[in-house]
Amino acid sequence: MFLGLFETLRRHDVPVTLRELLDLHAGVERGVAFADSEAFYRLARLTLVKDERHYDRFDRAFAAWFEGIENLDAAIDALIPDDWLRREFERSLSAEEKARIESLGGLEQLIETFKQRYAEQRERHAGGNKWIGTGGTSPFGAYGYNPEGMRIGQDGSRQRRAVKVWDERRFRDYDDSRELGTRNIKLALRRLRHFARSGAGEEFDIDATIDATARDAGLLNVRMRPERHNAVKVLLLLDVGGSMDDHVHTCEELFSACRSEFKHLEHLYFHNCIYEGLWRDNRRRDERLSTFELLRTFGDDYKLIIVGDAAMSPYEISHPGGSVEHFNDEPGGVWLQRLATKFDHLAWLNPMPPRTWELTHSNRLIRQLIGERMYPLTLQGLEAATRALVQ
Amino acid sequence: MAFQGTDTYVASDALRLAVDAAVTLERPLLIKGEPGTGKTLLAEELAGALGSRLITWHVKSTTKAQQGLYEYDAVSRLRDSQLGIEGVDDVSNYIRPGKLWEAFDADERAVLLIDEIDKADIEFPNDLLQELDRMEFYVYETDHTVRARHRPIIVITSNNEKELPDAFLRRCFFHYIDFPDHETLQRIVAVHFPDIESRLVAQALDVFFDIRDVPGIRKKPSTSELVDWLKLLMADELAREALYARDPAEALPPLAGALVKNEQDTGLLERLAFMVRRQQTTRR
């Protein structure tokens, strides 16, 4: 009876049903896995999980169940467990360095420093393409703070002996509350499709006609079908520069997915907050489009998607002249308000994780202005946003 | 019976167990993974190892579930009736069995590969639920039911282009082929090229993993690309020498076309190499 495992999995949001649990029992009964915890882990994963996005959650739940950890929340929240760091660390150190660490007050101290560094590093990566310069030797990987990218001792981590398989958490990257790939984004954006049968254009359906004619014993039976195309109109406003440099990669992916998915897509850029003008091309900022013109030209049937981290000085929203780049006659908040009034279908996608939203004053202000329609730029967030946009 | 991998296919522990469980419990096995990690190959090797027949159903964007069961060729029948050909009155002469029917009808247990199921329409998997579950379907034209004589082993591959419906997933076992680690890759190479120089393997694997680890690379090279590349390297002595004497400041490894397949990635590697070169000159 693996009811404990079953319940733990459900508590960890792994979608499992009774049918899968029965499968697991059948597997154990038929002796597919016997008296071997690793084989059991594999069998359980095979039968209970149906998507690699849930592998990581399954691993965590399994570890919790296996070790009988009572406090589940702590296990979930410990995103970088100490011993994980220690393992990565010890592996990458030479004997000489180990001796030096001892003299520096031991590993405990060092891990603290490391964590501090790690926290600072999130900020410092704002500089942008730093990672290119280091050519992969930077301990902090490609996109800033993905712990997967923190592989310090590459060779060490490839020999899996010391660690239990489920503790390795090799599938962390596939969790859908984490990063997005173009493919996933496209899938999420599909929800925004709005197929319309517009105009008189009906098209000739050759296959159905041949089929129907043959069934009618040769009497011509012409079949027509209505033409379908995606008629949704999307206006995309992207925050560029400054703190958004961290998220260039994600935004790039979102943008390329949008471009291939929507026929009526307009995109414009802004910096930090929206004021009286927007750019069509980020490199040629002189060619500006006045925001008034935008409000006039784009009908309210457009769906407005704003992508930005909403992290700025609150003065940018509340005061005239608050912009960091130019003197603005009217505060950013007024402009946001105008956009929100005009476009009923509006969503703000924020690449920062939701738990940080409360920390910035500007974020709270913006959410007040647009009416809590801010979503995280993850797969789940995007799905929620598209659902809200089609309502 | 346990599937152990074959002379030409290295299967991880998890994959072996997955195949075992799917065979024992007679469930379809859904395989996902990066392109080039041997998803399709698994079915072929499994059929080889079990000595059963492999029936492959390649799914395309236009494939309908019905085509896997059977098709009624009304056009031929019409033509034949006008020409007065014999047998036209019997509708069963114009029923063309599909791959699923073929697998159900086989004399002994067959392996059915439904390749790239995600390419088809979103409703495609839903249309196969009953057929996969009960291993039978009904032919309306001739009014009879086709039942599997031996439940075939069904392997389904997906490249994640579409989400598969829950009801379908619940009927399958799911395995994600993880990208092989260094050791496993070495075994895979050994299986494909038994008498390759170990120096070449070591060098090539280093370069291979370096390229996979380059941040921002769009299409990571995978196992099948590594195998192709090694094949080329073994055929070309000059390129092999170039690999041994490789200078990190050089942008691309020899014959890189087999590993890196789009120009953005090539550009990225060249840019990286340029930066390495610049660092070297400033240091001097």
Residue from B1, B160, B175 whose CB has the most chain A CBs within 10 Å, to mutate:
B160
Restricting to A residues 284-323, those with a Cβ less than 8 Å away from any Cβ of B are: none
Span of A54-58, A87-91, A293-297, B63-67 with lowest mean pLDDT: A87-91
Q: How far is B158 from chain A (nearest CA, A)?
A: 11
- Across the interface, do B77 and A218 touch by the CB < 8 Å criterion? no
Q: How far is B276 from chain A (nearest CA, A)?
A: 8
- pLDDT for residue A95: 63
**Which chain A residue has its CA at the smallest distance from B2's CA?**
A32
pTM for this one? 0.60
* Alpha carbon separation from B14 to A34, A153, B31 (Å, rounded): 14, 25, 12
Structure tokens at B129: 């639920």
Q: How far is B1 from chain A (nearest CA, A)?
A: 11
- Residues found in chain B: 284
- Cβ neighbors of B2 (< 8 A, separation 6 or more) are B16, B20
Under 8 Å between Cβ of B211 and B259: yes
* Alpha carbon separation from A278 to A240, A311, A339, A358 (Å, rounded): 11, 18, 13, 27
Span of A89-98, A171-180, A352-361, A365-374 with lowest mean pLDDT: A171-180
Residue listed under structure tokens 């389904």? B156
Could you give the ipTM of this predicted complex? 0.75
Mean pLDDT, chain B, rounded, equals 83
Residue A94 pLDDT grade (very low, low, confident, very high; cuts 50, 70, 90): low
Please give the interface size between A and B, counted as residue pairs whose CB atoms are below 8 Å apart: 100
pLDDT tens sequence across B140-171? 888 899 998 888 999 999 987 777 888 888 88
- For A365-381, letters b (16+ CB in 10 Å) and e give bbbebbeebbbbbbbeb
- Across the interface, do B170 and A50 touch by the CB < 8 Å criterion? yes
Residue B54 pLDDT grade (very low, low, confident, very high; cuts 50, 70, 90): very high
- pLDDT for residue A133: 33
When pLDDT is averaged across residues B78-103 and rounded to a whole number, the result is 88
Q: How far is B160 from chain A (nearest CA, A)?
A: 8
Q: How far is A111 from chain B (nearest CA, A)?
A: 25
* Alpha carbon separation from A230 to A183, A196, A198, A205, A272 (Å, rounded): 18, 7, 10, 20, 31
Higher pLDDT: A319 or B71? It is: B71
Closest partner residue to B161 among A51, A136, A183, by Cβ? A183
- Across the interface, do B25 and A249 touch by the CB < 8 Å criterion? no
- Across the interface, do B174 and A46 touch by the CB < 8 Å criterion? yes
pLDDT tens sequence across A193-213? 655 555 545 678 888 888 888
When pLDDT is averaged across residues B178-191 and rounded to a whole number, the result is 83
B172 at A interface, C-beta within 8 A:
yes
- Across the interface, do A214 and B82 touch by the CB < 8 Å criterion? no
